[in-house]
Chain A
Amino acid sequence: MSGKVLDIHLDHIDKTFQAGECVSGTILIDGRKRSSHNGITLTLKGTVLMKHSSRNTGAFEAFYNSVRPIDLIFHTLELAPAGKLPSTILELPFSIPLLPTAEEFPLYETYHGVFVSIQYNIRVDVKGRSFMSGDLSETIEFLLENPPRNISFKPTPVDILISSSAIDSVKKGANVIPKFKITGKINSTLCPITRPFSGELVVEEMGSKIRTIDLQLIRVETCGCADGFSRDATEIQNIQISEGDVLRNFPIPIYMIFPRLFTCPTVSSKNFKIEFEVLINVQLENNHVIAERFPIKLIRLDEKESF
Chain B
Amino acid sequence: MLQTRRDLTQQEYTKHIDFLHQQLVSSWAADQRVTSLKIAIQNAKTMTNTEVLQFYPSKFVLSTEILDTFGKLVYERILERSGRPSVDAPPSSDPQAFERNESAKEMCKNWFYKIASIRELIPRMYIEMALLACYRFLSLTEYDTALERLAKMCRGIGDPLIAAYCRAYICRKGMEVSPKLRKHLYIVFEDFCTSFSQLTPDRLQHILRECELSFSEYLALFVPALEWILQCLSHRSSDDTLNTILHWYERCNNSLVLDAVMTSFDPKYVSDNALRFADLIKKADGLGCPQHQLYMSFGLSLVLSYPDKAVLRRILRDHWKVIVQLENPDDFLRCADVYIEIPAKHFTAADVDHLLGDIVRRVGELPTSTVSTGAGSPGAIAAAAAAAAPIVSGAASPTAGAAAPISTLTLEQALPRLQSILDKILTHLRNFSDLFEMRHFLPMVDLFQTDLVIRNEVCKSILTRFAYPGSTSLFVSAVDRSEVLAEATQLLTDLPRVNTMMYFAKSLHDSVNIMTVDDERRQITELILAFVRRWLVSYIANVASFLIGLPGSPDQGPFFILRQFLEALESYPWNNTSDGKAWCFLSIMKALSHLRTNRSRFNYLGVIPNSVLYDSDDRYEAEVDSLLDIIAEQVTAHLADLKREDSSHAAARRATLSLHLSHILNDYFSCTEATGAMALLQSARANLRETSSHLPTSLHALFRSDPSVVS
Contact = CB atoms under 8 A, between A and B. Distances in A.
Contacts of A13: 99, 102-103, 106
A4 B204 CA distance: 63
A237 interface: yes
A257 B116 contact: yes
Interface string A259-278: 11000000000000000000
A140 interface: no
A237 B117 contact: yes
Interface in A213-243: 213, 237-243
Interface stretch (B149-157, B352-360, B701-709): B149-157
Given A237-B117, A243-B121, A246-B156, A253 B149 contact: yes
B158 interface: yes
Given A242-B156, A253-B153, A247 B194 contact: yes
Contacts of A241: 121, 153, 156
A252 interface: yes
Interface in B117-160: 117, 119-122, 124, 135, 138, 142, 149, 152-153, 155-159
B158 A307 contact: no
Contact of A247 (B117, B135, B149, B195): B195
A212 to B, nearest CB: 8
B153 to A, nearest CB: 5
Interface string B187-217: 0000100110010000000000000000000
B157 A242 contact: yes
A237 B115 CA distance: 12
A14 interface: yes
Contact of B156 (A252, A305, A306, A307): A252
Contact of B158 (A210, A237, A251, A259): A210
A251 B155 contact: yes
A218 B40 CA distance: 28
Contacts, number: 86
A246 B138 contact: no
A294 interface: no
Contact of A239 (B106, B108, B119): B119
B157 A253 contact: no
Given A259-B113, A307-B112, A243 B156 contact: yes
A255 interface: yes
Given A13-B102, A13-B106, A253-B153, A243 B116 contact: no
B158 A242 contact: yes
Q: Counting chain A CB atoms within 10 Å of each CB, which of B121, B157, B158, B162 scores highest?
A: B158
Contacts of A237: 117, 119
B48 interface: yes
A242 B198 CA distance: 18
A240 B113 contact: no
B158 A244 contact: yes
A253 B153 CA distance: 6
A245 B103 contact: no
A56 B159 CA distance: 43
Contacts of B120: 240, 243
Interface in B469-525: none
A288 B647 CA distance: 78
B147 to A, nearest CB: 13
Interface residues of B, number: 32
Contacts of A153: none
A61 B557 CA distance: 142
Contacts of B460: none
B173 interface: no
Given A260-B113, A305-B109, A307-B109, A246 B155 contact: yes
A109 to B, nearest CB: 16
Interface string B93-115: 00000010011001011001100
Contacts of B122: 243
A240 B142 CA distance: 23
A238 B155 CA distance: 19
A245 B112 CA distance: 28
B138 A307 contact: yes
Contacts of A245: 158
B155 A243 contact: no
B247 to A, nearest CB: 18
Contacts of A251: 152, 155
Q: Counting chain A CB atoms within 10 Å of each CB, which of B112, B117, B122 scores highest?
A: B117
Q: Counting chain B CB atoms within 10 Å of each CB, which of A213, A239, A245, A259 scores highest?
A: A239
A242 B162 CA distance: 12
Interface string B587-613: 000000000000000000000000000
A240 B119 CA distance: 6
A259 B116 contact: yes
A253 B117 contact: no
Nearest to A246: B158
A250 interface: yes
A260 B102 CA distance: 18
A62 B22 CA distance: 51
A253 B113 CA distance: 19
Contacts of A247: 155, 158, 194-195, 198
Contacts of B112: 257, 306-307
A145 to B, nearest CB: 14
Contacts of B106: 13-14
B152 A253 contact: yes
Interface string A278-307: 000000000000000000000000000111
A100 to B, nearest CB: 27
A252 B113 contact: no
B113 A243 contact: no
Interface string B35-55: 000000000000010000000
A239 B191 CA distance: 22
B194 A250 contact: yes
B686 to A, nearest CB: 71
Contacts of B198: 247
Contacts of B195: 247, 250
B342 to A, nearest CB: 41
A257 B162 CA distance: 24
Nearest to B114: A259
B321 to A, nearest CB: 39
B102 A240 contact: no
Interface string B663-691: 00000000000000000000000000000
Given A242-B157, A260-B113, 10 more contacts: A13-B106, A240-B124, A240-B156, A241-B153, A242-B155, A243-B157, A251-B152, A251-B155, A252-B155, A255-B149
Interface of A: 13-14, 210, 213, 237-247, 250-253, 255-257, 259-260, 305-307
Interface of B: 48, 99, 102-103, 106, 108-109, 112-113, 116-117, 119-122, 124, 135, 138, 142, 149, 152-153, 155-159, 162, 191, 194-195, 198
12 contacts: A240-B120, A242-B158, A243-B158, A243-B162, A244-B159, A247-B195, A252-B155, A257-B112, A260-B113, A306-B112, A307-B113, A307-B142
The 4 A-B pairs of least Cβ separation, nearest first, read: A244-B158, A242-B156, A257-B116, A240-B121
